[in-house]
Structure 1
């Protein structure tokens, strides 16, 4: 069974997608950005903090943690700024490093945005919301 998920605690979706999809004990999280937040116009580190906070809220809501992250894909508009967010990523992951891809893109959905993160996580068989 496939379950589509939209979370009230995240910024309102402005496009043709849902925040996440559940399938076979796996949670596929759509690209998260700072769009519609107080830091939309902020620097990369502030946007990263917002996006990681959103990711952690989703994991918590679904009774998961960073140790359940399988794969993370990070899109940035300026890869030369990676060093400014590297420690934030280590701090969130703790000792539970996921597989990861980092891609520099020419633009995201709004010119203010500097980072987008999507993720795949393992769902616990007896946790999370239905």
Structure 2
């Protein structure tokens, strides 16, 4: 087991790791739209939140030597199911070919007032 911590993604908000690598499987904690350079939460739009999250996911994947093509499963947590199409529009730009399996779940609330959070599992 190896803890993965990327300086290009925001630090964990609590007692957890950005990701854990076990064998060839990378288990990533959920990412919200925190810009690691400013430490600020990106809230201008649901699309901007999703875009920042995907950048954060890419940074953690890169630290572990993985790429988006290695992602086999994601879970999207959103505070409003009405944001499904907007989130999906951004998400689809990152997974154009053979997208991973995915769940999309509406939740009551997310940390820091986020409207979307995405976690991922990657394998190679």
Q: Under a length normalisation based on structure 1, what TM-score does the superposition of the two structures give?
A: 0.85
**Corresponding pairs, count:** 121
* SS of match in other structure, 2:112: coil
Give the 5 Å matches for 1:24-35: 24-35=23-34
Partner of 2:122: 121
CA-atom RMSD, angstroms?
1.5
Give the deviation of 1:62 after TM superposition: 2.4
Gap regions ≥5 residues in structure 1:
124-130
Distance 1:117 1:6, change over 3 A: same
* SS of match in other structure, 2:121: strand
Contact 2:6/2:59, CA 8 A, preserved across alignment: no
Distance between the aligned counterparts of 2:119 and 2:97, measured in 1? 20
Give the deviation of 1:104 after TM superposition: 0.3
Q: Under a length normalisation based on structure 2, what TM-score does the superposition of the two structures give?
A: 0.88
Give the deviation of 1:19 after TM superposition: 0.2
Q: Rg bigger for which structure?
A: 1
Give deviations 1:90-124, integer Å, cap 9, x for gaps.
1100112100000000100122x11100000013x
Give the deviation of 1:72 after TM superposition: 0.3
Give the 5 Å matches for 1:45-124: 45-111=47-113, 113-123=114-124
Partner of 2:9: 10
Partner of 2:21: 22
Gap regions ≥5 residues in structure 2:
none
* SS of match in other structure, 1:16: coil
Give deviations 1:66-95, integer Å, cap 9, x for gaps.
221110000001111111121211110011
